[in-house]
Amino acid sequence: MNKSSMDALYDRLRERCTDTRTKEPMKKHTTFQVGGPADYFITPGSTEELRAVLELCREEGIPFFILGNGSNLLVSDQGYRGAVIHIGKAFSEIRTEGTRVTAGAGAMLSRVAMKAWEEGLTGLEFASGIPGTLGGAMVMNAGAYGGEMVQVVKRATVLTKEGALRTLGLSELDMGYRKSCILPMGYVVLETEMELAFGDRARIRETMDDLSARRKEKQPLEFPSAGSTFKRPEGYFAGKLIMDAGLAGFSVGGACVSEKHCGFVVNRGGASAQDIMKLCREVRQRVRERFGVTLEMEVKTLGEFL
């Protein structure tokens, strides 16, 4: 797309959402802290703005990507030739009624878990340290320490590809290990309703503090990363396979397999997205050669990689 076409499209996007930027560095919006510029970076202030932006992107054939906190994402050094649509503060409201918690897709999962604790509700303790948004958690059925979103979700309100609002029950969401129907169906999550249970606030807090201590002890939280880099292969643990392949501390440029937890690839400083990708490919190859197990990336990728 030439500059005049990009400028014209920028103007049209701005008519639909004033918070539209061009050439936005994606390293500012991912927990890996890497990634080149997105052609357009849009933060809708309402469902109506979101619908209007998506409609224009589809009309004009502009590729788009829905972004939450960027905590499970690797963006290429060349960036993204399309529109990144950030589901942010305007979609972060959290409401409670009895044992029901309803929250917007832009709410941080840790904030939702904290609100549940404040209301004396148990069931979301596992989510208190997950660094993503509720929308992202719904896309991949996020989980940790034996808990998963599927255990608490009742229904979700989504925007369909046709721009219609639709409410999906738990069975319709088709939530499984690190998956749901959201991406395959082209839905955008707007809001999720969860059903928890009343519990003892002191015990809930104790569980959250215990999980936080375990994370600090076992995970490389001192370095930028995207959390667990690979999905758990059936019958195995990705981190143990990587460790047993002798890859603890293995590095490419500024990217490194964490010695603290081999399931994490971290940015030790100055890593490029290509460093991270090259390292992940090498890890997959060596684990496959050694154990006959093919690791699948849990981290999503955006943009072109060599």
Active site residue 281: no
Written as six digits, the tokens of 266 are 């971290």
Pairing of β 37-42 and β 80-86: parallel
Count CA atoms closer than 13 A to 185's CA, side-chain side.
19
Q: At what angle do helices 47-60 and 3-16 cross, to 10 degrees?
A: 150
Contact of 205 with 121, CB cutoff 8 Å: no
Pairing of β 225-228 and β 64-67: unpaired
Written as six digits, the tokens of 279 are 């390292």
Name the amino acid, one letter, at 166.
R
- Nearest to 38, CA basis, from 303, 305, 306: 303
Contact of 186 with 192, CB cutoff 8 Å: no
* Catalytic residue (one of 110, 180, 225, 228): 228
Whole-angstrom distance, CA of residue 66 vs CA of residue 139: 11
| First-residue to last-residue Cα distance in the chain | 22
* Catalytic residue (one of 178, 201, 215, 288): 178
Active site residue 298: yes
Written as six digits, the tokens of 114 are 């904290």
* Catalytic residue (one of 172, 259, 282, 298): 298
- Nearest to 230, CA basis, from 257, 268, 267, 260: 257
Active site residue 225: no
> Residue 108 carries which DSSP code?
B
Written as six digits, the tokens of 31 are 């927990």
State the alpha helices, DSSP H only, in 17-149.
47-60, 109-118, 134-140
Task: Classify residue 276 by burial, with Cβ atoms within 10 Å: 0-12, 13-18, 19+.
Answer: buried
Residues with a known catalytic role: 178, 228, 298
